[in-house]
Chain A
Amino acid sequence: DADVTQTPRNRITKTGKRIMLECSQTKGHDRMYWYRQDPGLGLRLIYYSFDVKDINKGEISDGYSVSRQAQAKFSLSLESAIPNQTALYFCATSPTLSGLAFNEQFFGPGTRLTVL
């Protein structure tokens, strides 16, 4: 069973549409992250959350919003999708062990989003 799941796995949408990508985890981790991957670029951080009610912007948060509905769920929304948001999106989780914040991250399978 997958510990970090993402839905949908693939999505094609049109410019201007609102899109939500969902992430769920059964690992019991408190930290969750959204990254996007573009060809030729490294994974870039969009938003992250340490806990329910804690939301922090990452490197490229413009055009995105997130919601941490529960410890296990972290959703990414594109309010009005545009073509340059076409990318592979990854959700990741990590535990806070011994009070440390830099523990390894566990990635979901990714969502491939195409905005036409």
Chain B
Amino acid sequence: ILNVEQSPQSLHVQEGDSTNFTCSFPSSNFYALHWYRWETAKSPEALFVMTLNGDEKKKGRISATLNTKEGYSYLYIKGSQPEDSATYLCALYSGGGADGLTFGKGTHLIIQP
């Protein structure tokens, strides 16, 4: 069973501030890394799928970086807004004949007005 760790577990941020959080994974099992945003009472929705070491992806105020050699990814949110409040999940795809994703427990982000 792969170990995908996310930190912090929860985070309170003032509206307008920028923030970031971490996803760690075993680098030897890396094939692809997914980030999902999960709002309360809704379904998880994909933000990014990343495969290349050093890759950086951006969607509006949200961006992510990837370091496959050391086994981590950062998610950044610039100028947080109340609508950014959600749980952010990262998930590792390890390939090797096994499909499906191994998810971390998520970072629960609350933006305070």
Q: Give the contact stretch, choosing among A13-21, A66-74, A75-83, A100-108.
A: A100-108
Question: What chain A residues lie within 8 Å of B45 (beta carbons)?
Answer: 107
A12 beta carbon closer than 8 Å to chain B: no
Distance, CA A110 to CA B104, complexed state (A): 18
Q: Which of A50, A58, A102, A110 contacts B93 (CB 8 A)?
A: A102
Is A110's CB under 8 angstroms from B43's CB? yes
Interface size on A, residues (CB 8 A): 26
**SS class, residues of chain B in contact with chain A:** loop
Is A43's CB under 8 angstroms from B89's CB? yes
Is A105's CB under 8 angstroms from B101's CB? yes
3 tightest CB-CB pairs across the interface, nearest first?
Answer: A42-B103, A104-B46, A102-B32
**Interface residues, chain A, CB within 8 Å of chain B?**
4, 31, 33, 35, 40-45, 48, 50, 56, 58-59, 90, 101-110
14 contacts between A and B (CB under 8 A): A4-B43, A35-B103, A42-B91, A42-B102, A42-B105, A43-B44, A43-B89, A45-B102, A48-B100, A59-B100, A90-B43, A101-B95, A105-B34, A109-B43
**Interface residues, chain B, CB within 8 Å of chain A?**
1, 4, 31-32, 34, 42-46, 49, 51, 89, 91, 93, 95, 98-106
